[in-house]
Amino acid sequence: MTGVPSLPELSDALKQALQNVKLKNAALVAVMGATGSGKSTFINKVSGTDEMVTGSSLESCTDQIQFSSLFKLNGRDVCLIDTPGFDDTNKKDVDILQHIGGYIGAAYENGVKLAGVLYLHRISDNRVSGVTKRNLRVFHKLCGPEAMKNVVVVTTRWDRATEQEGASRISELQTNRGFLGEAVSNGAVIVQHRENTTESARKILSELLAKSDPVPLQIQTELVDEHRDLVDTAAGAELNSELKAQIKQYQEEIRMLREEMRERQLRGDRDIADLREEINEMNKAKKRAETEREKMRVDLEEIKKRADTGK
Ligand SMILES: Nc1nc2c(ncn2[C@@H]2O[C@H](COP(=O)(O)OP(=O)(O)OP(=O)(O)O)[C@@H](O)[C@H]2O)c(=O)[nH]1
Ligand SMILES: [Mg+2]
């Protein structure tokens, strides 16, 4: 599937979903994690539906936020929010953050707190990739330390790892502060979704709901209570600093290419079309990164307005 859809389609769905959640006093739980970690599959298992589209290729599958239909768990109505992961596949991270911020910001503004967050992680990966690290960094900043006690990290794909591999990967995840060490020290727990079954999924969600004492996520208080622009939220600042670093790198590469071009011209080399083309491409990439940074200068009101006008 391709990029993130425009916001208006989401807007009506959001209003409807929030209305249902409020009406039934349902527990609202966000499901996050890198692409392919099994978020949509988990939601389908736990809710007993196949309403979330799941992927089979390496391309990101879920490209928009989606609320599940309400379903019962231990007598309580529950609604799960399926989210796209932050990753490199379609480079729409700012849009994704804007959508997540807009949705859960609007929920909080309407008096609906998240009962918790499930963060899915593939135990089958033999190393923590750059994409996963990036997801974890933004995830930490989205939630903030206070909300970590309502976070359950769900390890998936146990059928693709040996016992020993699984155990040592969990131990690495929870001791490395850059991975999940900090989250765990703030109260997050790591659980094993051993069998990709409804039973296992429902047990994990039940445990989260039993211990949950809803507190807002950091991005919710930043957007709603403190009226910050997206770029000034901790998660936005994380993306912003990455974009800044990228722009700096492009500038440096452009500088080097120009130098090379000058040297070749001095040597009388007239065949420099390839260098011009490279500089051109690099400039375009730099411009794209700058546009992404600009897009984050929006507050929640503006995000919602964009949702109404479709910009
Ligand atoms: N072997 C195995 N496969 C799984 C498990 N959970 C999910 N999958 C498969 O992994 C693939 C990706 O699952 P999705 O549920 O689409 O993953 P996602 O996190 O929603 O991915 P995005 O929407 O791209 O962010 C699908 O083919 C699932 O069938 C698991 O526990 N074991
Ligand atoms: Mg998905």
Residue 4 has pLDDT above 50, yes or no: no
Kindly give the distance from the C-alpha atom of residue 46 to the centroid of ligand 1, in angstroms, as a whole number. Answer: 14
Q: What is the pLDDT of residues 142-177, one digit of tens each?
A: 999 999 999 999 999 999 999 999 999 999 999 998
Q: Residue range 290-296: average pLDDT?
A: 94
**Which pLDDT value is given to residue 10?**
53
* CB of residue 60 inside a 6 A radius of ligand 1: yes
**Which pLDDT value is given to residue 75?**
95
**Which pLDDT value is given to residue 128?**
86
CA of 60, closest atom in ligand 1: 24
Q: Domain locations in the chain?
A: 7-225, 230-295
CA of 156, closest atom in ligand 1: 31
**Which pLDDT value is given to residue 270?**
84
Write down the CATH number for the domain with range 7-225.
3.40.50.300
User: Whose CA is closest to 158, among 195, 120, 190, 126?
Assistant: 195
* CB of residue 56 inside a 6 A radius of ligand 1: yes
* CB of residue 55 inside a 6 A radius of ligand 1: yes
Q: Which of 59 and 199 is assigned the larger pLDDT?
A: 199
User: Whose CA is closest to 3, among 120, 93, 132, 137?
Assistant: 93
Of 58-62, 131-135, 184-188, give the range with the top mean pLDDT: 184-188
Q: What residues are neighbours of ligand 2 (ion), with CB under 5 Å? A: 39-40, 61-62
Kindly give the distance from the C-alpha atom of residue 99 to the centroid of ligand 1, in angstroms, as a whole number. Answer: 22
**Which pLDDT value is given to residue 35?**
85
* CB of residue 194 inside a 6 A radius of ligand 1: no
User: Whose CA is closest to 235, among 120, 83, 126, 90?
Assistant: 83
Q: What is the pLDDT of residues 90-116, one digit of tens each?
A: 557 898 999 899 989 989 998 999 999
Q: Residue range 271-280: average pLDDT?
A: 93
Q: Residue range 228-243: average pLDDT?
A: 96
Kindly give the distance from the C-alpha atom of residue 118 to the centroid of ligand 2, in angstroms, as a whole number. Answer: 13
| pTM, full prediction | 0.90
CA distances from 10 to 17, 24, 166, 274, 306 (A): 10, 21, 38, 43, 11
* CB of residue 44 inside a 6 A radius of ligand 1: no
Mutate to test the pocket of ligand 1, among 4, 35, 41 (most ligand atoms within 8 A of CB): 41
Q: What is the residue-wise DSSP string for 56-68?
A: -SSS----S-EEP
Instruction: Assign 158 to helix, strand or coil.
Output: helix
Q: From atom 1 of ligand 1, which residue's Cα is the shortest distance away?
A: 157
* CB of residue 62 inside a 6 A radius of ligand 1: yes
**Which pLDDT value is given to residue 57?**
61
Residue 42 has pLDDT above 80, yes or no: yes
**Which pLDDT value is given to residue 88?**
55
Rounded distance, CA 81 to CA 86, Å? 15
Average pLDDT value over all residues in the chain: 90
Kindly give the distance from the C-alpha atom of residue 286 to the centroid of ligand 2, in angstroms, as a whole number. Answer: 30
**Number of helices (H), then strands (E), in the chain:** 11, 7
The DSSP H or E segment spanning 172 is: helix 163-175
Kindly give the distance from the C-alpha atom of residue 35 to the centroid of ligand 1, in angstroms, as a whole number. Answer: 8
**Which pLDDT value is given to residue 305?**
79
**Which pLDDT value is given to residue 91?**
57
